[in-house]
Structure formats: C-alpha cells, structure tokens
Structure 1
Amino acid sequence: MKTQTRTSGSDAATLGLGSVLVGSLPAALLTDESPDRYTVEAVFTRRPDRDEVVQILDNQTRDALTRAGYPTVEITVSDRRLEIANTNLEELRDGLATVLAERLAAISDSVRAGRDEAAARSHDAAATEHLRAAAVVELAGSVAFHRSGESATATTLPRLDADEQAQIEEWNDDGGDARTSS
C-alpha cells in the first residue's frame, strides 16, 4: 500500500505538509486490533533546508505542540518526511495537522526573514565598500609627484610637434609607449 493521500496545499516557497504516506500506517487500522496511537509519516511540500530542520526540531516547536494540547506528540525529520509519533489520523484531522502547518509556515517565514536581512546587510556592505574604493581611487588620483617649488602643471607632458605625434601613432600601432622614448 504505497498510496499517498493529499491533506493540504501551500505555495512552493512556504514549507508545508502535502500528504500522509498511507503505506507507512499500521496495517491494522480500522480493525479491532487498531492501535490508539502510532507514527504517521507526512511528506513535506518541498525539501526542508538545514535551518528549517533545526527549527522544526527545536524547543519552540515542542512548546507550540504542548500549548496546543499535544504534549505527547513527538516529531522528527527524515529526508522529505515529517514523522509524527504518538498520534493518530483522527487527532491530525481534528487539529494537529493545522498546528503543524502553522508552525511550518512560521518557520519558513522566520528563515526567509533571516535570509532577507542577511542579503540586505550584504548589499549594504557591498555599497559601502564600493564607495570606499571610489574614495581611495579619488584620493590616489589627487597625489602629484613633483619636486617642491614646481607647479602641478610642470609635470604634464609638453606639447608635441607633428613629427613626434606621427612617431607616437606609429608606436601605438606597434604597441609601443610614447612616454619611454625620445
């Protein structure tokens, strides 16, 4: 029995639970030998990332389950499945599924907000670094190497006559540098 049953929907960005793995349920369900409580495996709507898994398994999730009236329910993450132990399908249907969906959405929002803040900090740091680098270039450009008593214009190249200009153009065509000859 490998059938999956769709239990809820959500958008692709927000982590949620999409279905119960029917094949993982006890074979004796809805019989006289049916266990009262068991583990239900539910498939995530997408693979949770590391930060989400940490929050799913943290004390805040445990506290949320307890506050909602499910103190004995235990959850673990196994790849793309949430294993919900010490529960049953009726308990999930009657409210636990909603509690889990809300907690997963809150975790997604929290992780997304943290990443957005980090991206904004990175963007701000890059903009600040760009301004700093531009200021360094401007400051370096303000340095003039000339002897004391010389004016800054004395360090500029003298005006070239037609023969010198022709020679420079020839060197430029050959890859030479006009400043190194004479």
Structure 2
Amino acid sequence: MSMKQETDGHPADNLALASVLVGSLPRTLMTQEAPTRYTVEAVFSRRPGGDEVRGLLGPETREILASSGYPNVALVVSDRRLEIHNTNLEELREGLARVLAMRLAEISELTRSAKEASASSARSVAARELERVAAVTELAEMVSFAIPPMPDDGADQRARTYRSQIEAWSGTTSAPR
C-alpha cells in the first residue's frame, strides 16, 4: 500500500488548503455591522516550501487572480496559513477557493518537476564525475617511476674501447673489465 494517498483529489504531498480558520473571521459576520470584505485565513495541508511561497506570492498568481475576477485579492503566507485579504466567505465559496486550489496544485507540480529535474541533473553530474575520477585514476596508475632497461646499443663497449686506447696512449694499463 502506498504511503502517499490522495485526499480530496490531491496527492498527499501536494500543497493544498485544508480549511478556513474560523476563529480568525470578523466577529460581526452575519450581522448588520458585518464588513463586505475582510481577511480570511485558510490552513495549509502542510508547511509550504520556499519555492511554493514564491510561486504563490508571485506575479503569475496575481495575474491569475485578476483574470479570474479577483483583482483586489491579496495573499500573504504566514507559517501554515494563507491570509486571503480583501475577500469574503461568499466569494471564496463561489469560485475563489477553486482558483486558489488549482493554483496551489499547479505550483506543487512545478515545484515537484523542478526538484526532479534538479535531482536528475545532480545524478548526471555525479555520474560524469565518477567517470572522470576513474579515468584520472587509470591514467595515474599507468605512470611508472621504475628505471627502464637500457637498450644495448653498444655504447658500453665503445666506452671500454676508448678507455683502453686512452690508457694505451698514456702508457698506463688497467685490468680489463
């Protein structure tokens, strides 16, 4: 059985919004004094990562909100909560919640793809480095500091002959070697 199960159509590791934090709503809701727009805090399914926060607060999300009919909505991430400013519960129920859910799913997929690409690249770099180290090691093992055998080109014999001639001219003789 897989440890990652889908809940509400979202893979378990996707960043999602779980619920509205009711205690953060204005106390005057559903009264004559209720504000028309206010901040609604929603609880994330898990703590968002840095890339997810940047994606959620970035210009693309603002463009999506504006093109979906929510140009005045502003988002703030506060730990495991998303503060949705300048909205109301009705607006969320009628479509804003769906827009946010779809954006979070998109951000999760983009983040996952980027991590997978980065991991693949790191594995590729590591494999190339292992190949390089193996090639360097093989080349280093081919280096020999042994004295190579001298080819017998007759140089020793010529040297002995010259030495004998020199000794003969000088009148000294030495025992042959």
TM-score category (smaller protein): 0.7 to 0.9
Q: Which residue of 2 aligns with 1:78?
A: 78
Aligned residue for 2:36, secondary structure, equals coil
Question: Gaps (5+ residues) in structure 2?
Answer: 1-7, 152-177
| Structure of higher CA gyration radius | 2
1:144: Cα distance to partner?
2.3
1:22: Cα distance to partner?
0.5
Question: 1:33-68: per-residue Cα shift (whole Å, max 9, x none)?
Answer: 221111100000000011111111111110010011
Same amino acid, percent of matched pairs: 55
* Residue identity opposite 1:97 in structure 2: A
Q: Which residue of 2 aligns with 1:39?
A: 39
TM-score normalized with structure 2 length = 0.77
1:11: Cα distance to partner?
3.0
Question: 1:64-118: per-residue Cα shift (whole Å, max 9, x none)?
Answer: 1001110011110111000001111111011000000011111111111111111
Q: Which residue of 1 aligns with 2:109?
A: 109
Equivalenced residue count is: 144
1:129: Cα distance to partner?
0.6
Question: Gaps (5+ residues) in structure 1?
Answer: 1-7, 152-182
* Residue identity opposite 2:128 in structure 1: T
1:11 aligns with 2:11: yes
CA RMSD of aligned residues (A): 1.6
1:141: Cα distance to partner?
1.5
Distance of aligned partners of 1:119 and 1:12 in 2 relative to their CA distance in 1, 3 Å threshold: same
Aligned residue for 1:29, secondary structure, equals coil
Aligned residue for 1:43, secondary structure, equals strand
Distance of aligned partners of 1:150 and 1:98 in 2 relative to their CA distance in 1, 3 Å threshold: farther
TM-score normalized with structure 1 length = 0.75
1:9: Cα distance to partner?
6.6
- Residue range with higher mean Cα deviation, 14-23 or 138-147: 138-147
